[in-house]
Amino acid sequence: MIPGPTPVVRPILDALGRPTVSHQYPPFVEAFRQALEDLPRVVRSEAAAPFLVAGAGTLGMEMALVNLLGPEDTLLVVSHGYFGDRWAELASAFGIPHEVLCAEWGTAVSPDELGAALERLRPAAVAVTHVDTSTGTAAPVADYARVLSERRGTLLLLDGVAATGGIDERFDEWGVDVLATGAQKALGAPPGLAVVLVSERALARRRARDRVPAYYADLLRWAPVMDDPGRYFSTPAVNEVLAFATALRLVLEEGLDARYARHARLARRLRDGVAPLGFVPFPRPEHLADTLSVLRIPEDVEDAALRRAVAERGVVIAPALGPIAGRAVRIGHMGNVGDAEIDRTLDAMTAAVGTFRIS
């Protein structure tokens, strides 16, 4: 029950476990093509260009930056925690000037704060993490999009790693230019793929640049493969693509609205279930993400001992990060997680906390 990788259900595992075949084997090419067709539907887009590349969500974030920004550009990073700060670390690695607009952990940058920063900095792009798994905070991306709509020369780069497939994302409506995510979180597939969706405006920005400081991460080297999955640039992660295609099919069969409602319901069940034990959500109520819960630990419960006691009962939860390490735990409830997993987690948490409170 960590915030990812998340549990993988049997149909997806069966797809992953098929014999490894050539990346030009027609049935694989067709599965790859279907995954590329289905992916934009998950973010309600008719225009986004999909890219599936062996790697992880961090590679997708890197692709967003190296293809669209250079030393002559400025990036505004809107950070709500540890993974928001990663945008800044990536920008530093490639010599991209940047400024970080930080929220206090557990809160979110307000649209007014974003608007003031845009007016002052006039950045080429804004990078936002939709759900920061270090804090359990969901950014108000729709509100940010309204602010950015007044500055359409500014690109919107969105890290959807812990959101895509579990929280509604509207690529076209919000004017997102790059959405980078991974297979192993709310989409419920095994890790191994960087999943990237790119607007036509962003692709035009890449085409206008003579060169980028990348080879494998260059969108233009991958674009012909995404247009025709039978073509070759670098060997795709064949089995992971097959599993991912199945995961996307399951997402769409469930239905986006039903899937997002399930995530919201399970989040409430988990938080309501641990409240009598003394666990309180770390983020402010208006910023709670539906895909994971970051919970403050009661004062009479010790972090490592709690997680150890929960693990002894067959459930793994994650420690907190950064300034709240040792004072909170992180529990994922996204992707293929259902009521049975929530029940088992609540039972394990209740039993574990009981061991601390025996008089």
Residue 151 CB coordination number (10 Å) = 14
Mean pLDDT score, 161-188: 98
Span between the terminal Cα atoms of the chain, in Å = 30
Confidence check: pLDDT of 153 > 90: no
Q: What is the mean pLDDT of the chain?
A: 96
pLDDT digits (tens, 9 = 90+) for 196-230: 999 999 999 999 999 999 999 999 999 999 999 99
pLDDT digits (tens, 9 = 90+) for 102-146: 999 999 999 999 999 999 999 999 999 999 999 999 999 999 999
CB 352 within 8 A of CB 311: no
Mean pLDDT score, 50-55: 98
| pLDDT of amino acid 359 | 46
What b/e sequence results for 70-106 when a residue is b if at least 16 CB atoms lie within 10 Å of its CB, and e otherwise?
A: beebbbbbbbbbbbbbbbbebbeebebbbebbbbebb
For 320, the token pair is 């907190």
Task: For residues 167 and 334, give the distance between their C-alpha atoms in angstroms, rounded to a whole number.
Answer: 9
| pLDDT of amino acid 358 | 57
CB 88 within 8 A of CB 36: no
Confidence check: pLDDT of 61 > 70: yes
pTM over the 0.85 mark: yes
Token pair 């812990």 in the structure block, residue: 162
| pLDDT of amino acid 355 | 87
Mean pLDDT score, 34-63: 97
Task: For residues 158 and 45, give the distance between their C-alpha atoms in angstroms, rounded to a whole number.
Answer: 14
Mean pLDDT score, 314-339: 97
Task: For residues 105 and 205, give the distance between their C-alpha atoms in angstroms, rounded to a whole number.
Answer: 33
Q: Which helix (H) or strand (E) holds 182?
A: strand 178-182
Mean pLDDT score, 65-79: 97
> Hey, what domains does the chain have and what are their CATH numbers?
10-254 (3.40.640.10), 256-356 (3.90.1150.10)
CB 345 within 8 A of CB 17: no
Token pair 């034990």 in the structure block, residue: 277
